[in-house]
Structures are given as C-alpha cells and as structure tokens.
Amino acid sequence: MRGVGIIGAGPGVAALHLPTLARLAERLRVVHLADRGSGRAAALAEPLGAAASEGTAALLADPAVEIVAICSPPDEHAGHILACVEAGVRAILCEKPLATNAADARAVVEACRDAGIPLLVATNHVYDEAWDRAKRYLVALGSDVRSVSVTVALPPNGRYHSAVAELAPSAAPPRGAPDLGDPDVAAAVVRQLVLGLAVHDLPAIRDLAPDFEGVDFAAAVAPLGYSIGFRSSGVPVLLDAVMLPDGPDAFWRLSIGAGADRVDVEFPPSFVHAGSATVRVRSAEPRETTYRRDGSDGYVREWLALAELLDGVTAMEPHELLDDALFAIGLADAAAAAIRAGGAS
C-alpha cells in the first residue's frame, strides 16, 4: 500500500482523483491533502482519515506520503514538481499540463530524470485502453495517417461531478464570459484552453504526427472554446471545442483518417468511470466495425501506470514527457499568436 498526498482540493480532486483512488484502495491510499487555505482539503481528508494542511511544506514533510499528485492551478505545476523533487518524494503524478512554458517543462523533466523520480502527466485519454486499441489498428494499417480531428462539446462539469461525488457548493461567484472580441483576451483564453483541454489528446496526436509545423488558423469560440487548424508531420489537424451552458451529453471524438479508413475514438465524459472510450472503424470495403469497450478507464489506468513506474515494471521516458509538453506549449503559443495577428475569431 502506497501513501498518496494530493496538492490541491478543487473539483478535480474531489470528483476525479479521490473517486479514482477509491477504486485502487488495495494499492494506493490517500494520506494527506493540502490546499491554499480554503479549508476544502480538511473537508475532503476527514472522511478518509487523512491529514490535511495548508501550503505544501507539511505534506512534503509527511513520511506517509510516497506519491504526490499535483492538482494545483497549471501555472503552479512546475514549482510544485520541483518542490516534490527537493523533498525526495518517490513518484509524482502531475495534472495536465506539465508546465505552461518551455523553460519550466525542461526544468522539471530534467529535475525528475536526474533525481530518478518517476513523473507521469495525467493525460487520461492516452492511458485509455481504447487508445491502445486504436494505435494497434493504425500500426497494422501501416500508420498512413492523413488527417486528425478532435471535436469536443461539453456541458457544465457539474452534471458529471454529481455522478461521482458530493461536492460542497462553491462559494466563488460564477465567472462571467470573457470578452472574446478582444484579440488579447481571446488569445489568452485559447492558450489556456489548449494547455488545459486540448492537451488531453495532444500526446496521442504527437504519436501520430510528431513534428509540429505551424498553425494555419485559430479562433476563440463563444461562449468558451476554440477552433484551431494546424499541421504536424505534414498531417492536417483540426481541434474544435466548445463549452456550453447546457446541451447534450459530453461529446469528445478523436477521428483519424488513415489510408482509406476512418478511425473514431469517442471518449466518455470527464470525471465519470464509464469504462474506456469506444473505437469505431469505417474501413474502405466499406465496412464499419465497433470494438468492445474495456471496463477500465484512463483515470484508473494512469494511476496504475504510475504504480508500475514506481515498481520498476516500466521506465519513465523523460524525452517523451518533455516532447509532449513542448508540443502542447508550442501549439498554444502559436494559436495565441495567430489570434493576436488575425483578430479574435
């Protein structure tokens, strides 16, 4: 049994990592939660019999903490990783993104590599069994990847939070919609969304088309979203996402044009544990095949992957981690620059 400390106590912890770790109770146990003084960590820790603290010092000094999950705001990830390395923790799971700029990404990967500390970025889609299945299919096909698109439409997260947790009502007032007509605002919003939302699939896209070439267009989508066309390794890629105040069930489809086939990977909503994504192949014959879904999901499998790293079953690939991070940051920066240069949308 390994002790897990969690930095952060927001919905991503309460509705995602705690319910996930509860499914892995034979291997992992939450022993410490830390927040920045909101008191949420104590409220989450109490029913678990875990410790709670403010800031990171007490958590990192807690001998029961072997693994640290970093679930703080994105621009704090790098600092928290370095603090973990300094404290000599055994392993780190960092919520996406790894870092928000290239220098930080290099620094944290180098620090973990030099210290021999396994680091995993929680890009749950690439840990989904369905993605393995899709990759195997593409490899068998000779990986003739011709296009990639990711289309996302998300209703409010609360719909899914309530399916897995009982969250305390938020004391924070709802945020107003950003002024996407202002190119600087739109650019900042899209950059943040690339690193927070599109990043789910960017490691998968980099698997298929590793060499980022440039953004052809980028637009902010109201009320909150983006549409980005870019090229990587000669492959056209389209990312389109919108977060809606209401609407149908969450929709998240990664679609790959490979040879004359179309491979669709449809992911279940975030937060819930509904098994793997669905893989559907429309092949040239023409024929359509839907593969069976796996009972496990990317959230559970990313934690298991970290446990395997820690157990020495698998080895961390620092260059892959870094290249994934640099790919995401490069895309985010290029999309933001395109919006600033060309207007908001």
Partner 1 sequence: MTAPVFLTGDLPAYRVAIASLSHSAARADGPAGALAVIRGDGAWWEDARRAAAGGAVALLVDEPEAAPTDVPALRGELGVPVLVRRPSLRSGIVDDALRSLDGSALRSVVAECQASFADAPRVVRDAVGWMRVLTGGADGAPAVLRGRPGRHGTTARLRWAGGVGASLIVTLVASGGGLLRVRASGETALEIDLDAPMGRSVLGVGTSAGWLMTPPRHEQPEREALRRALELVRDGSPTGDLAGFGADAATAATILAR
- Containing H/E element for 155? none
Instruction: Give the SS3 label for residue 291.
Output: coil
Which 135-154 positions form the footprint of partner 1 (CB under 8 A)? 146-147, 149, 151, 153
> Toward partner 1, which CB reaches closer, 288 or 311?
288
Instruction: Pick from 183, 259, 269, 275 the residue near partner 1 by CB under 8 A.
Output: 259
Q: Which stretch binds partner 1 (CB under 8 A): 37-45, 84-92, 104-112, 241-249?
A: 241-249
How many chain residues interact with partner 1 (CB under 8 A)?
A: 43
Question: Could you count the other beta carbons within 10 Å of the beta carbon of residue 157?
Answer: 18
Q: Distance of CA 56 to CAs 12, 76, 293, Å?
A: 18, 12, 39
> Toward partner 1, which CB reaches closer, 70 or 150?
150
220: left (phi over 0), alpha (psi -120 to 50) or beta: beta
> Toward partner 1, which CB reaches closer, 109 or 221?
221
- 74 preceded by a cis bond (ω within 30 of 0): no
Q: Residue 320: how many CA atoms within 13 Å on its side-chain side?
A: 14
Instruction: Pick from 79, 183, 236, 275 the residue near partner 1 by CB under 8 A.
Output: 236
> Toward partner 1, which CB reaches closer, 247 or 275?
247
Does 196 contact partner 1 by CB under 8 A?
A: no
Residue 255 has φ and ψ, to the nearest 5°, of -125, 130
- Containing H/E element for 69? strand 67-70
> Toward partner 1, which CB reaches closer, 103 or 260?
260
Which residue in 117, 115, 66, 122 sits closest to 94, CA to CA? Answer: 122
Token pair 């440039």: residue: 214
For the bound state, the minimum distance from the C-beta of residue 323 to partner 1, rounded and expressed in Å, comes to 22
Does 231 contact partner 1 by CB under 8 A?
A: yes
Judged by the rule CB under 8 A, the positions of this chain that interact with partner 1 are 146-147, 149, 151, 153, 155, 216-217, 219, 221-223, 225, 227, 229-231, 234-238, 240, 242, 244-249, 251, 253, 255, 257, 259-260, 262, 282, 284, 286, 288, 342, 345
